[in-house]
Chains A and B, each alone.
Chain A
Amino acid sequence: MNIKNRTEKAALFANAAGDVLLTVTIGNAQIGGSIVINKSSGLQIAKGEISNLVIGSDATLKGKALIITTRILDVNPNTNGIVVTYFFGNATPVTLSYNDTVDNDGDIFVLTLNISF
């Protein structure tokens, strides 16, 4: 079982309309979960399957940074392709999507996404 690591970064703008919400979708019928950490404080905000997680408002997020570590196990015998999509409610851009592949069935893909507001 190999582990493939990848690091990405993105800048987000929170809308004034309301709290920023995060949903992480693991595609290609693979299995995965995420760990969300407030980079500034080092505190863990959530872990596991992330759905409509309240990240904070425009005011509280300005100048802050998050680290989202998503770990995906390749369980789909049809493909070694990995696709993970981050949906940000009340933020721009609304989605960030990343595709990759692992070498073998059963390998783990780790995406570390650094988000700055």
Chain B
Amino acid sequence: MYSKKVFAFVFALITIHTLSAQSLQLNDLYIPESPGFVLADKAPSVISKPTNPKAFGMSILNMTQGGAVEASPYWFTPKPNLTYEQYIQNKMPVLETFNLSLASYKADSTGLMNVTAGFRTQLFRVYSKQTIKDLINKKKEIIEILVNSIDSIDTAAISKKKTDLNNIGKRGFFVVELAGALLGNSSTNSFNNIQTSKSGIWANIFWSPNKSILDFAGLVRYSWVSNSITKTTSDSSFLDSGMSVHYQQQNFDLSFEYINRRDFALQKNTDRLALVANYKLNDLFVLVVSAGKNFGDSNNIIATTGIRFCVGGSNFKL
């Protein structure tokens, strides 16, 4: 009953905004690393990088397998007093980055649709002094070009400066992100019989040093299984902890992650070791390749190749 209310509430919130978002354009749609997909092991990486959630976003696994919608309520209304400087110097952007998501996916074994509700937010984010200085200097350069002439705007120069600004913001910061999700399914594919099957809450820590080509991330996650169909032991709960190293270029991202899982029901440890590569083919498609060993002792080889795609164009960023 509780899980139904959670799913219904998140669905209603996102739907209400969708209906009211008259200005929504296809290009607003992009692929997020939805917490629901992460908890369901549908995301290629267990340790995800921090993202900038859109006010409203949508992603699809593919047309028949399901998809996700997400919303960041803070950005539903204009923020007239929030200047660029305040935004980048805010060390606790909890509200600004608070993101709700609802996802569905088809279970591999049963073919039944699963639904997930999740949230993520950045509890703490700090840019290095050098990055702040560089961002503000770049902002001044952009303004100079914007107001250089009353008759025209040098869009090519602006576009270049904006790319520079984006690149500066990708390095020299430290983020602590909190996320959580509920997975639910129904044995009859009926919303009335939906039950929570797995829940989890976790923290991601991400550090991108200024003078390094590598980024570093850490994960601590507690998750538990409930309402399992076959009850042989008590419901399982897991504590995952691990870290990952990322290397990123303009259109290419490579990450290596190691996670140790403690299964409290079985009193056993298992681990996951994975190499994940993303290659941005264009604004619509990203090629994802992952390889390694998953949790557990059997059926634990990770060897997948796939394409992630988004509905709209220009917002697909690695």
Contacts and interface: CB of A to CB of B under 8 A. Distances in A.
A44 B81 CA distance: 27
Given A73-B162, A78-B55, A28 B147 contact: no
Contacts of B79: 27-29, 83
A45 to B, nearest CB: 12
A73 B23 contact: no
Interface residues of B, number: 38
Interface string B204-219: 0000000000000000
Interface residues of A, number: 41
Contacts of B158: 1, 73, 108
Contacts of A79: 54-55, 75
A80 interface: yes
A101 interface: yes
A40 to B, nearest CB: 16
B61 to A, nearest CB: 23
B155 interface: yes
Given A29-B86, A105-B315, A106-B314, A49 B143 contact: yes
Given A99-B78, A104-B314, A29 B165 contact: no
A38 interface: no
B28 interface: yes
Interface string B139-151: 1001110110010
Given A27-B79, A78-B96, A99-B78, A32 B155 contact: no
Interface of A: 1, 3, 25-35, 37, 44, 47-49, 69, 71-73, 75-81, 83-85, 97, 99, 101, 103-106, 108, 110
Interface of B: 23, 25, 27-28, 52-55, 72, 74-75, 78-84, 86-88, 96, 139, 142-144, 146-147, 150, 153, 155, 158-159, 162, 165, 314-315, 317
Given A29-B82, A80-B25, 5 more contacts: A1-B158, A48-B143, A77-B52, A80-B28, A85-B80
